Each structure stands twice: as structure tokens, then as C-alpha cells.
Amino acid sequence: MSADGCPFCRIAAGAEPASVVYEDDATLAFMDLRQPAGAVPGHLLVIPKAHTATLYDLEPEPAARVFQAVATVARAMRRALPEMEGLSVWQSNGAPWQEVFHLHVHLMPRRRGDGLFHVYQVPPAEAERAALDELAARVRAGLG
């Protein structure tokens, strides 16, 4: 998706409505249209204002700005939402996990028993150290 057709670019430009929580010259945080039933309300998104499709495309300086905004907004959520026991933060890349191809970080208020985000049906056994070392070596090689 080009920046021209990007809904988050339109929000950042003020061409589409959004319930803005935080804004600086590089980032914008606004309420997600989808607030899960039965969960603590307050699900929001933090985006870079400049169109960036995925985390893979994000340069170091904008990355720092986005995650500074994430931390700032998370602290505000903790102060403003006393029913929030914790917070899940996530960011997805690529189809089918990413619905809007403009990098966005989700901040989801949490409480015990909210039924959200079960990463494992059954927690897997711990991996052997040799397998972890081999995976670490592969990722290090990708640092190039």
C-alpha cells in the first residue's frame, strides 16, 4: 500500500478522524477502533507519522522516537486506567498478521482473566541449549 492509500497516513495528516492521545513531530498515538468486549478499554496504536510499512523498514532514529512514544503513552495509561493490571505491547509485520501496512504498535490494557492473547495452547518444553545457540548464530549472521 502506498502512502497515498494509507489510512494511518491520512490520520497523521489530519484528513481522517482519530481520537488522539499523544502527538509529537514524529509520532502519533490514537485509540484503536477495535476495543475488545470484556477487556479493559483503552486499546490504542502508536505510529510514526512518516509512512513506514513494517518494522523491517524503520530506520534507527524513527524507531527510537516510536518506542519513546510507546513508553510515554504506557505510563499515561497506567496513571489514567486504574482498572488496568498490566499491558500487552505488540507489533506485527507481514500478511496475514498485519492488516494496515503502516507500522503501528498496539498497547492493550490487561487484567487477569480477560481471555486475550494466549500465545501457546500448551507451553512448549524448553529447547536444548545447543539448538538455542545454533538459532542465535543464525540471527547474528543476519546482523551482517
Question: What whole-number distance in Å separates Cα of residue 57 and Cα of residue 15?
Answer: 24
- What is the pTM for the complete model shown? 0.91
Any catalytic annotation for residue 104? yes
Catalytic-role residue among 51, 102, 104, 106: 104
Question: What whole-number distance in Å separates Cα of residue 89 and Cα of residue 112?
Answer: 16
Beta strands in the chain (DSSP E): 20-23, 27-31, 44-48, 86-90, 105-110
Task: Read off the pLDDT of residues 48-84 as tens digits, 9 standing for 90 and up.
Answer: 999 999 999 999 999 999 999 999 999 999 999 999 9
Cβ partners under 8 Å of residue 72, min gap 6:
22
Q: Which fold has domain 3-118?
A: HIT family, subunit A (3.30.428)
Task: Read off the pLDDT of residues 85-101 as tens digits, 9 standing for 90 and up.
Answer: 999 999 999 988 899 99
